Structure 1
């Protein structure tokens, strides 16, 4: 079966007896063309099944109006919130998104970066995988003056724009809250300390202990993943401790929910025996029992700021090379899981 011929602006121009330039401007919603003419041209284009040749326009303009987004995962409330924030800003600015994810694999992250580079994206928004050790795969963008904005998981001492929260302060606040509730033996469940987010939260945890004359105990530190099987393993390690902790600060809400259930199944009362604080303000924290005290990590706002920073650079109203770090405000949300002393 023979493929149908692709409709061009010349076909539309011929049928309406106008110039191809008029058709092109009308399809691009140019105010130099009257509204009535624009309507006529767009209606015929739709009827004939005209498709805008983005590729040809991109080559001509040296712009694709496309932004690449590199994520370390796709299935978390925080990441979907960030994406919603990015999408809101990019849609308003009439940019398309290509979303790729590394599944926490630095090799896949590098391959994704190459793929976006060859797709000629105008800019990149990225959050690093657990084990990314350098930013060499982002050099190709830098060499072509393609802006990159990092968010959440970043190299804090690297050049370029970064959008983060104060992870140190959040870790400090979570731990200090448990201490205020009377906890003296506080476990910390976290993930790869190669990443700024977990390293900084642990630094806050340690400082809160020190400021309250409590010793850091390496046996109370558990470093693992956040999937269900990882969280179950972490809970088993807690339960196998000779002296159980009386508080746990976990840097991920889903992981905290799995750990909480495993502890409850073993007869541990939350918060009376072990008080718990999570991180991210994931919706799961509101439906488990008791409801989870957590750190609100404003993903939507973070996505908006990252996208706005990038788009302002592309529009020439801001230079990401002048931006170092933008810090988004986070806050402790107190719920039942940590309240050993009851509601204040």
Structure 2
């Protein structure tokens, strides 16, 4: 089938006997064109199937009313919630969204950042890949005064907007919760330490141990490359095979925590009586696994909304793209059965 010719402003001008500039201004609802003429032009344009060429407009104006999103993996609930928050805010303001993922690979992040830059996005929202240490690939945006908002996983040194949570306090509270439940030998699944989120959660965990005069044992700190399910399984087996296995576990994400629950149960370990576990993020899987996983809430949707608003504020207020501004949100402990050791022991005694 032969492709139908695209209707242009020049086609509309011939049909309506107006100049192309008048057609253009009317389609953009310019005040210099009367309401009657504007309405007439919009109707004929719709009838003829005219579509505005947003790409051509972005090339002329050097901006596209499009926000780019670059996250690690779009299939993770946390990333999906960030994207949802961005889209909700962006679309209300008449902006479109382009989504890309790095799959936690640095090279993918560099390539995707270049593609988004070439698409002339009005702003970029980024959660860094697990591998990213060098952030030079984002300088091209700053050089063109295109705002960048780093969300959750943020670089240590890069002047930009940042939307984060208080990871240190969250890590401290998660470990303190296990201590309050009677745990005295607490393990930790730590992610890549060059990333702020995992580094600060680990620091909070260690400080909670020290302030409660508990041992900080190197064998109980397990660094996972991806914080994935299989890694969590292997790490849990290693911990349970120690001469003195842990009686508590704080995992820096829910995926590894769920794998720990399933692996421990498979080995006949009672949760939480023998091993109390708490994760991080409050992913949907946390409330589905048995026993339900205690976790730390992560306001991902709110983070996405705030990130998008920073882009919109930059566009309207002409703020500098290299502004260093931090928005920090709080979290809360969500206690479920996997760590509620005191309650579980009471129920056992009552039987």
Q: Shared fold by TM > 0.5?
A: yes
| Deviations 1:11-70 (CA, angstroms, capped at 9, x unpaired) | 223333444334323433446656665554334323322221122211222211122211
Task: Name the structure 2 match of 1:146.
Answer: 146
CA 1:214/1:316 → structure 2, altered by over 3 Å: closer, same or farther?
same
1:179 matched to 2:191? The reply is: no
Mapping 1:184-333, distance limit 5 Å? 184-224=184-224, 225-316=226-317, 318-319=319-320, 321-333=322-334
CA 1:36/1:251 → structure 2, altered by over 3 Å: closer, same or farther?
farther
Q: Which moved more, 1:80-89 or 1:312-321?
A: 312-321
Check conservation: 1:149, 1:320, Cα contact below 8 A: no
Q: Which moved more, 1:106-115 or 1:173-182?
A: 106-115
| Deviations 1:83-111 (CA, angstroms, capped at 9, x unpaired) | 00111111112122221111111111111
Q: Which moved more, 1:47-56 or 1:33-42?
A: 33-42
Aligned residue for 1:178, secondary structure, equals helix
Check conservation: 2:65, 2:121, Cα contact below 8 A: yes
Q: How far did residue 304 of structure 1 move?
A: 0.7
Check conservation: 2:27, 2:42, Cα contact below 8 A: yes
Check conservation: 1:309, 1:318, Cα contact below 8 A: no
| Deviations 1:221-240 (CA, angstroms, capped at 9, x unpaired) | 11112222222212221222
Aligned residue for 2:338, secondary structure, equals helix
Q: How far did residue 190 of structure 1 move?
A: 2.2
Q: How far did residue 333 of structure 1 move?
A: 1.1
Unpaired runs of 5+ in structure 1? none
Q: How far did residue 140 of structure 1 move?
A: 1.3
- Calculate the TM-score normalised by the size of structure 1: 0.93
In 1: Cα distance, 2:93 partner to 2:3 partner: 35
Unpaired runs of 5+ in structure 2? 347-351
Aligned residue for 1:342, secondary structure, equals helix
In 2: Cα distance, 1:35 partner to 1:237 partner: 74
Task: Name the structure 2 match of 1:83.
Answer: 83
Q: Runs ≥4 in structure 1, deviation > 4 angstroms?
A: 29-40, 317-320
Aligned residue for 2:142, secondary structure, equals helix
In 2: Cα distance, 1:276 partner to 1:146 partner: 43
Task: Name the structure 1 match of 2:137.
Answer: 137
Task: Name the structure 2 match of 1:57.
Answer: 57
Between the two proteins, the alignment pairs up a number of residues equal to 344
Mapping 1:10-21, distance limit 5 Å? 10-21=10-21
CA 1:78/1:29 → structure 2, altered by over 3 Å: closer, same or farther?
farther
In 2: Cα distance, 1:327 partner to 1:161 partner: 11
Check conservation: 1:310, 1:320, Cα contact below 8 A: no
Task: Name the structure 2 match of 1:337.
Answer: 338
In 2: Cα distance, 1:317 partner to 1:119 partner: 20
Q: CA RMSD in A?
A: 2.0
In 2: Cα distance, 1:71 partner to 1:142 partner: 19
Q: How far did residue 249 of structure 1 move?
A: 0.3
- Calculate the TM-score normalised by the size of structure 2: 0.92
Aligned residue for 2:174, secondary structure, equals helix
